[in-house]
Structure 1
Amino acid sequence: MTTSATSQIAETAPPVRSTRRWLALTVLALAQFLVVLDASIVNIALPVLGQQLGLDTAALAWVITAYVLPFGGLLLLGGRLADRYGHRRLFLIGVAGFVAASALAGLSVSGGMLLGARAVQGASAALLAPAALALLTQLFRVSADRTKALGIWGGVAGIGSAAGVLLGGVLTGAFGWQSVFFVNVPIGLIVLAAIPLLITRDPASVPSRLDVPGAATITGALVAVVGALSALQQLGLTHPLTLGLLLTAVVLGAAFVLIERRTTDPLVPLSVFRNRNLTTGNLVMLLVGAAMVALFFALSVFMQAVLGYDALTAGLTQLPLAGALVVVAGLAPGLVGRFGVKGTLLGSLVILAAGLVWLAMAPADAVYVVDILGPSLLIGVGLGGAFVTATQLSVDGVDGGETGLAGGLVNTSQQIGGALGLAVLASVAAARTEVLRAAGAPLGDALTGGFSWLFLGAAALTVAAGVVAAFATGHPALRD
């Protein structure tokens, strides 16, 4: 090979971002764990928190919503900012904001102070989450290694979702509600110290104009969607606030599409959706995220309100599910190598749907080992395979300059899906419970009947995800 040819390859080859990429992945996954954990760890602390800060039930709901709204609404913007101004830079800014906001939340002496801190937490999470996934794709460019890395990523996300109830109960009981926020601080500081030592600086890039109109309309549309879904759960579909937010989301969404079609430097190039695997992966993540968030919510309430478990015991009962998820996420590379991404995804969705249907059969006097453990293990297996492969499809074939956008898209799909699933399926469960109560059923039986419908609804969403997954092209292309 000639010297000039060698020089040309060196100039065009993507830079090596780390010589210790698996350790770097561990630190990135630690930050992702905090982001996922913070969406659920607060739930157990809400009653104590509300009593000490004087927050009523409606205000307590905003402790969750204040985090979810900016997180879901700013993810696409966060991903695009990371593409334009540097993935490592935006990741570190996001982590720093998250740590500072967590400390502020733990120090809160009023409801307003806490809600403000939660909003900053959500906005910071929207910066770091897509940037972290983009860094993962840059660290692991060969398909086999990337699948292994995404297996770890999916396992961490699953652990964060399942561990929230357990850790929230332990920390609140032992150290008070403030500890569910303070726990983020030392872990975040470790991430801030380690990443500059493990990942190189962002390569120089040509500055480009930020699509401000596109950013404003899509952010407003996503915030309106999440807000409408939260209002739907609390106020119902026909409430003026719910309808107003839905209309706002539609109008802003349409305006965003028109802007992106006409601008020369769009925030989200609509051509990215011509990538069939990316589109399929995001739709699957939307549906599976809807099923998962509703599932974890219902399991926690069912264990405590129907079976009489305390918060700690309810959290411990989810450990087998989380364990199965982690094991399968770790085995995902081998499964993908044997069955392909599409085959592994379809098989995972079938197992997940079967576990949800089985769980829907649990009676009001369910015995954990007999009625809950088996379906929990199937659900963990299905979620582990589905999350890894859906994420892999979502970043398949994406150019290096759009990896942050891809990370923002898949995280947005998961967040919007989660809000959608919780709002719709929780409403279905509540309606079914009211019907059974009106028919004279005891409270425990009525609640169980409502949760049964919720689990069946989650299974239906999973089946729909399987139908969508059938349109994937197959195994993502290998990368050098």
Structure 2
Amino acid sequence: MAPSGTGAAARHRSANASLAILAVAQFLIALDYSIVYIALPSIGGEFDLTESTIQWVVSGYAVFFAGFLIVGGRASDRFGPRRLFIAAMLLFGIAAMAGGLASGTPTLLVARAVQGVAAAALQPAIIALINTTFAAGPERNRALSVWGTVGASGLAAGVITGGLLTTVSWRWVFLINLPLAVVCALAAPRLLPRIKAARRSTTLNVPSAVLCTGTVLSAALALTQASGKGWTHPSTLAGFAVAAVLLVAFLARERRSVKPLVDPLLTRTRWLMVGCGATALYMASVGNQFFVVTLLVQELRGYGPLAAGLAFLPMAVAIALANSVSARIVAVLGVRRTLTSAFAVASAGLLLLAFQTRGDSYLVDLLPGLLITGFAHGVIYVTMFIAGTADVEDRNQGVAGALMTTSQYMSGALGIAVLVLVLGPAPQQADFGWAFTATAVAAALGGVLAWFGLARPSSPPRPAPAVETVPVTGGEKP
């Protein structure tokens, strides 16, 4: 019989292999959100797209991603995250290929929407697999740090990679996803752990799922319309009205349902709710910073696609560095102080960019702010997921991760709508300064939320008698 140390080493290698494939998958999700930014002018030129149409190359992915996340999270919990991971990864790769080979606008936009749906199934499955493979505490914090090093860097790497690939052809912006998706899907059965699906049922609450998806889709569509056509446009107002009606219907259905789509215990778990708020303010600040910087360097400074992509390289390095040390920072400072400090640093960096928009030097006027915000970005990304999922039991990890990511991308849509309003149709230097200031305010609010929201030890409320008891975890997270 093999020594116990040998078995422990084998389990450690298996866990690391699982983490590697999950990190690559998360990289794809983040990459695909930002990689098309720099390619948009080339895509618009080939298909002769208007400004209001071309934004859907980005928004089509983001809207359907946000719209299907809660359903994806519950599907992960009910049917098992590994099974859903494989199916979603294959769908993601096929949709990416369809987008890269698209001969017209309808095919491209449908492919982007399907990619968003696939990503909505992938994201909660990834978080569930990490949080059920690694025990809460230092082990999970380290795993989230490694995952974040690759995943959060995808947002920055997307604009860099997009700039490089667009110099060859914009189609490679989509086709690059296919080989990575195939490798992940083929490796998953051997490398990912088999986790039992929830015992309560193998049937989704279909009415709640439809109402939930419709609510988020309507709200996301309305926000996208607001950014392109204005807040008072009939299509914007109609979208918000439909979202409000569906939300009321969803809440009423959930209250009456014996098997709700979102476990009521989750909405009473304080650290999860703070985590959702943190992800929203993260995206409204350093997350949407990519949008502002991309416009700044291309439209105001006149950078080409390659130069614009390379301008993000130092920021990507700072994000990766911060991701890799985030678990150590949390171990020393705790979640509350780490997340508060990271948001404060992000706010300072964004204000620095706001005050330096009138300068023309990349090294003096842009690089310092990008490095500061990049490091803060990396720390926030890892720490907010450590906080938000710490007190969630295994059977609800998929939905918990979906709630946080839905908050993130809905905030992203709202943030871009606000930034478009701030920048105006022909943004000048002062407009970019106000846009960076808006993101700095969002980061400052994130710091306030983290400081006061995580002030007391987290202790999730006891479930109602009909629901099985959840172990209570207390104290400041390591």
In the alignment, structure 1 segments of 5+ residues that lack a partner are: 1-15, 434-445
| More deviation, 34-43/73-82 | 34-43
Find the aligned partners of 1:89 and 1:125 in 2 and give their Cα distance.
Answer: 14
In the alignment, structure 2 segments of 5+ residues that lack a partner are: 1-9, 459-472
Q: Which residue of 1 aligns with 2:272?
A: 278
Find the aligned partners of 1:197 and 1:379 in 2 and give their Cα distance.
Answer: 38
Matched, 1:221 2:215: yes
Relative distance call for 1:204 and 1:272 in structure 2 (3 A) is closer
* 8 Å contact from structure 2 (residues 23, 148) kept in 1: no
- Deviation track 1:226-283 (CA, whole Å, cap 9, x = no partner) reads 1111111101111011111111112211221121111100001232121111000110
Pairs within 5 Å for 1:60-459: 60-174=54-168, 176-203=169-196, 205-206=198-199, 207-430=201-424, 447-459=428-440
* 8 Å contact from structure 1 (residues 89, 202) kept in 2: no
* 8 Å contact from structure 1 (residues 159, 322) kept in 2: yes
Code of the residue aligned with 1:452 in structure 2: it is G
Shift in Å at residue 66 of structure 1? 1.8
Q: Which residue of 2 aligns with 1:53?
A: 47
- Deviation track 1:418-456 (CA, whole Å, cap 9, x = no partner) reads 11111112211228x6xxxxxxxxxxxx61111111111
* 8 Å contact from structure 2 (residues 79, 197) kept in 1: no
* 8 Å contact from structure 2 (residues 146, 324) kept in 1: yes
Find the aligned partners of 2:240 and 2:387 in 1 and give their Cα distance.
Answer: 29
Residue 461 of structure 1 is aligned with which of 442, 451, 456?
A: 442
- Deviation track 1:193-225 (CA, whole Å, cap 9, x = no partner) reads 111111233326533442122111111110011
Find the aligned partners of 2:47 and 2:327 in 1 and give their Cα distance.
Answer: 47
Code of the residue aligned with 1:261 in structure 2: it is R
* 8 Å contact from structure 1 (residues 293, 422) kept in 2: no
Shift in Å at residue 362 of structure 1? 1.0
* 8 Å contact from structure 1 (residues 286, 414) kept in 2: yes
Code of the residue aligned with 2:439 in structure 1: it is A
* 8 Å contact from structure 1 (residues 306, 447) kept in 2: yes
Q: Which residue of 1 aligns with 2:6?
A: none
Shift in Å at residue 309 of structure 1? 2.0
Find the aligned partners of 1:410 and 1:97 in 2 and give their Cα distance.
Answer: 23
Find the aligned partners of 1:55 and 1:428 in 2 and give their Cα distance.
Answer: 24
* 8 Å contact from structure 2 (residues 286, 443) kept in 1: no
Instruction: Indicate the SS of the match to 2:355.
Output: coil
| % identical aligned pairs | 37
Relative distance call for 1:465 and 1:332 in structure 2 (3 A) is same
Find the aligned partners of 2:371 and 2:197 in 1 and give their Cα distance.
Answer: 47
Find the aligned partners of 2:319 and 2:193 in 1 and give their Cα distance.
Answer: 32
Find the aligned partners of 1:205 and 1:293 in 2 and give their Cα distance.
Answer: 33
Instruction: Indicate the SS of the match to 1:322.
Output: helix
Q: Which runs of 4+ in 1 moved over 4 A?
A: 16-19, 474-479
* 8 Å contact from structure 2 (residues 24, 151) kept in 1: no
* 8 Å contact from structure 1 (residues 306, 364) kept in 2: no
Code of the residue aligned with 1:231 in structure 2: it is Q
* 8 Å contact from structure 1 (residues 75, 411) kept in 2: yes
Instruction: Indicate the SS of the match to 1:364.
Output: coil
Relative distance call for 1:212 and 1:204 in structure 2 (3 A) is closer
* 8 Å contact from structure 2 (residues 38, 309) kept in 1: no
Instruction: Indicate the SS of the match to 2:260.
Output: coil
Code of the residue aligned with 2:354 in structure 1: it is A
Code of the residue aligned with 1:97 in structure 2: it is L
Q: Which residue of 2 aligns with 1:12?
A: none
Shift in Å at residue 18 of structure 1? 7.9
Find the aligned partners of 1:303 and 1:119 in 2 and give their Cα distance.
Answer: 28
Code of the residue aligned with 1:23 in structure 2: it is A
Number of positions where the alignment pairs a residue of Structure 1 with one of Structure 2: 450
Find the aligned partners of 1:297 and 1:153 in 2 and give their Cα distance.
Answer: 24
Relative distance call for 1:17 and 1:222 in structure 2 (3 A) is farther
Find the aligned partners of 1:69 and 1:146 in 2 and give their Cα distance.
Answer: 30
| More deviation, 40-49/204-213 | 204-213
Instruction: Indicate the SS of the match to 1:397.
Output: coil
- Deviation track 1:281-331 (CA, whole Å, cap 9, x = no partner) reads 110110111113431111011112222222211221212212111111111
